[in-house]
């Protein structure tokens, strides 16, 4: 026969477990999310600030760290060394680089396509000259489709 105290303990334990499951469910589902074409097409999916949080304005060294981190995070073809090599060739790591053909930033993104690309890859309303935005958008594009669009690839 179950005593009243035992019933209260079991009820409390069940309520506690349910609470833990309900509060942990969003964390579990976001931790298991993958970077697929479906999520890439989701408009305005902001990239968390803590992902590859390097002060790219401080130095070329920090900019390269950001590139390497993003290349590892999104697993691009050729790895971090290839990502650094393409950025060196495209802009010499200059976030303010501009080409009269309408290309700008570290990875020389086409300025006419930038607003849509930035929104698609989580940097809505960011400038093409924002080093972090340009790098992460470019790396995510390379993850999805390879380095083909870049002349230096």
For 115-138, write each residue's pLDDT tens digit: 999 999 999 999 999 999 999 999
- H or E, element range at 103: strand 103-104
Residue 117 lies in a domain: yes
**Residue 38, domain member (yes or no):** no
Report yes or no on whether pTM surpasses 0.85: no
Note whether residue 116 is domain-resident.
yes
Q: Does residue 37 sit within a domain?
A: no
Q: Is residue 153 part of a domain?
A: no
| Tens-digit pLDDT profile for residues 72-94 | 999 999 999 999 999 999 999 99
Angle (CA) 78-84-86 rounded to 5° is 80
Range of the domain at 90: 44-145
Q: Is residue 99 part of a domain?
A: yes
Classify residue 111: in a domain, yes or no.
yes
Q: In total, how many domains does the chain have?
A: 1
Residue with token string 């993104």: 109
């Amino acid at each position: 026969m179950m005593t009243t105290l035992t019933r209260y303990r079991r009820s409390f334990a069940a309520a506690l477990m349910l609470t833990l499951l309900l509060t942990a469910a969003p964390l579990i589902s976001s931790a298991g999310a993958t970077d697929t074409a479906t999520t890439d097409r989701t408009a305005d999916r902001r990239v968390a600030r803590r992902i590859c949080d390097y002060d790219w304005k401080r130095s070329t060294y920090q900019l390269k760290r950001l590139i390497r981190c993003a290349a590892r995070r999104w697993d691009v073809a050729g790895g971090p060394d290839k990502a650094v090599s393409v950025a060196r060739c495209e802009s010499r790591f200059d976030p303010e680089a501009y080409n009269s053909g309408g290309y700008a930033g570290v990875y020389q993104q086409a300025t006419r396509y930038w607003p849509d690309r930035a929104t698609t890859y989580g940097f809505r309303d960011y400038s093409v000259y924002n080093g972090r935005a340009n790098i992460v958008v470019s790396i995510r594009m390379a993850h999805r489709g390879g380095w083909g669009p870049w002349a230096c690839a």
